[in-house]
């Protein structure tokens, strides 16, 4: 009995010592651990005892064996302990609504003792891949990510699969790739938002409504769906010629130039629904540069109720975006996942949009 207990203590001691070396970084991921013969001699135990300890460590994910080559430390051990670090990846950092979203995330995570590793992709898929690859080499407990160009098919799903393999939860915000739509997420109901803003213009008597939408993210696509739905319900025929699509790369040029072109071609328009407040001001600039007034000649709506919604005496009619609250909700959801509190469909949160009326729209009596 005493001999059996001694063997058990030696096997436990061997495992504890190897785990300590692995977690401390003395043995690195991908590095070969000493052979059975070396460990048996070093710890003065039988090869059978060494074999048992290694088998259990392999089941626990600390090591893996390659036939004919030996036993190696796994990448998983890099994430075996709580680091206190959370990665936050957004498309931009200092622009537009992003500082408030990050502020909400930081408020929750700092209170819980976490540090934030902040990354931005500038809405570039290449940069997103680099960020994910870099983070896989760091000690992190979770990821909050706003995907880049979320409408376009994702070709780097294997990187996200690595996070899940390492049991690192991810929460998507603002958008989500089609292949990952069942993953935890906090999104705005952008279809309903596009519907509300378009229905508002229709209710004011507008019948010739231009839509300006972003083509490469799910927000733009869904806001367009809401726009089309509102037109259909009002019996207004959908006209693709009245929809302006732009991409990330031409967002500062194409909406402005296309509106100018439509004015030159005397296109009939009395209202414009814009992808967001930022684009709304580019549209307003194009109208004003061509001698048209907002809202006297043409009504313009934005989206997001950002700090840009107010400029001078003009206050955009827009859709409220609870920027800081979205950040708070994403951080709280991630913490629940880190603590193992998964909740299926309730981990996919959809925020209801609200219309915010400004003075950038005017009733069109002649169209009623």
- Whether 349 maps to a domain, the answer reads no
Note whether residue 350 is domain-resident.
no
**pTM score:** 0.80
Q: What is the pLDDT of residue 79?
A: 64
Domain-ending residue, one of 37, 63, 79: 79
pLDDT in tens, 266-296: 999 999 999 999 999 999 999 999 999 999 9
For the chain, the domain total comes to 3
Q: Are 24 and 53 part of one and the same domain?
A: yes
Say yes or no: 216 and 312 in one domain: yes
Q: Tell me if 348 is assigned to some domain.
A: no
137 and 148 housed in the same domain: yes
Domain that holds residue 53: 2-79
Same domain for 162 and 196, yes or no, is no
Which of 210, 211, 217 has its CA nearest to residue 150?
A: 217
Check whether residue 309 and residue 211 sit in a common domain: yes
* pLDDT at res. 41: 93
**360 and 222 co-located in one domain:** yes
Are residues 199 and 152 part of one domain?
no
DSSP code per residue over 43-91: HT--HHHHHHHHHHHHHTTSEEEETTTEEEE-GGGGGSS---EEEEEES
* Spans of the chain below 70 pLDDT: 1-8, 76-81, 366-368
CA distance 203 to 114: 48
Q: Is residue 60 part of a domain?
A: yes
pLDDT at 368: 42
Round to whole Å and give the CA distance between 185 and 296. Answer: 41
Residue 367: what pLDDT?
Answer: 46
Q: What is the CATH classification number for the domain harbouring 56?
A: 1.10.10.10
User: 209 with 309, same domain?
Assistant: yes
Instruction: List the beta bridge partners of residue 89.
Output: 119, 145
């Amino acid at each position: 009995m005493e001999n059996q207990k001694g063997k058990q203590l030696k096997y436990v001691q061997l495992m504890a010592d190897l785990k300590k070396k692995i977690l401390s970084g003395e043995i690195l991921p991908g590095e070969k651990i000493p052979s059975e013969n070396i460990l048996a001699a070093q710890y003065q135990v039988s090869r059978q005892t060494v074999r048992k300890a290694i088998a259990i460590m392999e089941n626990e994910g600390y090591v893996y064996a390659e036939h004919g080559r030996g036993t190696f430390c796994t990448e998983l051990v890099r994430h075996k302990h709580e680091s206190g670090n959370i990665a936050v990846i957004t498309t931009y950092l200092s622009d537009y609504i992003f500082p408030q979203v990050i502020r909400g995330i930081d408020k929750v995570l700092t209170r819980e003792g976490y540090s934030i590793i902040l990354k931005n992709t500038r809405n570039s898929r290449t940069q997103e891949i680099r960020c994910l690859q870099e983070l896989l080499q760091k000690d992190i407990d979770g990821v909050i990510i706003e995907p880049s160009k979320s409408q376009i098919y994702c070709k780097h799903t294997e990187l996200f699969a690595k996070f899940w393999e390492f049991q690192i939860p991810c929460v998507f915000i603002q958008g989500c790739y089609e292949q990952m739509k069942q993953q935890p997420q906090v999104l705005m109901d952008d279809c309903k938002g596009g519907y509300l803003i378009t229905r508002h213009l229709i209710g004011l008597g507008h019948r010739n409504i231009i839509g300006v939408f972003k083509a490469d993210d799910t927000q733009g696509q869904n806001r367009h769906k809401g726009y089309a739905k509102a037109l259909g319900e009002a019996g207004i025929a959908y006209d693709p010629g009245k929809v302006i699509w732009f991409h990330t790369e031409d967002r500062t040029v194409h909406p402005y130039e296309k509106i100018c072109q439509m004015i030159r071609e005397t296109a009939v328009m009395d209202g414009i629904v814009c992808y967001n407040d930022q684009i709304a001001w580019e549209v307003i600039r194009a109208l004003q540069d061509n001698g048209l007034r907002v809202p006297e000649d043409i009504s313009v709506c934005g989206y997001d109720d950002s700090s840009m919604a107010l400029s001078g005496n003009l206050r955009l009619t827009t859709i409220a975006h609870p920027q800081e609250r979205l950040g708070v909700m994403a951080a709280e959801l991630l913490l629940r996942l880190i603590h193992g509190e998964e909740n299926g469909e309730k981990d996919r949160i959809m925020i209801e949009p609200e219309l915010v009326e400004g003075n950038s729209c005017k009733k069109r009596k002649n169209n009623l």
